[in-house]
Amino acid sequence: LRAADPAAGTLDIHTDIRAAKVTAIAGNGRAALHVWDAGAHLQIRIEASAVILTGDSVAAVWARVPDASGQSYGGRPAPGVPVAEALGYDKTPDQAAFAVVRFTVLAIDALHLGQDAHRRARFERAANWSGQWLAP
């Protein structure tokens, strides 16, 4: 998670434009994020619409990416391509390979795994974020 805007209800992540998730999101526009907080015994599933932002629209974001992190965008081969050995890739930072995935949160399903009982609730943007208890 690289940015969150509570007022807009958006979450941003950074990725390489060649990653499989970019193709999947571009073809569908929907996504789900799963968060597990072991210490809190809390599982959160976020349903969202998603857009891929690239080029000039993310140039200011790219300018703030630390050099060490920028190495992750544009390497060879592309993400997910098999390599012969663990370090069989080159780091070649490239702004053209950098993308921001912006999720607009549509619903949040939260499950607390309590020691004696579990509690689950769902919150939806369309219902002005009013919650509804659900059976776990």
Per residue in 57-93, pLDDT (tens digit) is 999 999 999 999 999 999 999 999 999 999 999 999 9
Residue 69 is predicted with a pLDDT of 94
Q: How far apart are CA 98 and CA 27, in angstroms?
A: 18
Residue 46 is predicted with a pLDDT of 98
SS3 47: strand
Residue 58 is predicted with a pLDDT of 97
Q: How far apart are CA 108 and CA 122, in angstroms?
A: 6
Q: How far apart are CA 123 and CA 108, in angstroms?
A: 5
Residue 29 is predicted with a pLDDT of 96
Question: pTM to 2 decimals?
Answer: 0.90
Which residues have CB under 8 Å from 70's CB, separation 6+? 62, 93, 98
Residue 125 is predicted with a pLDDT of 96
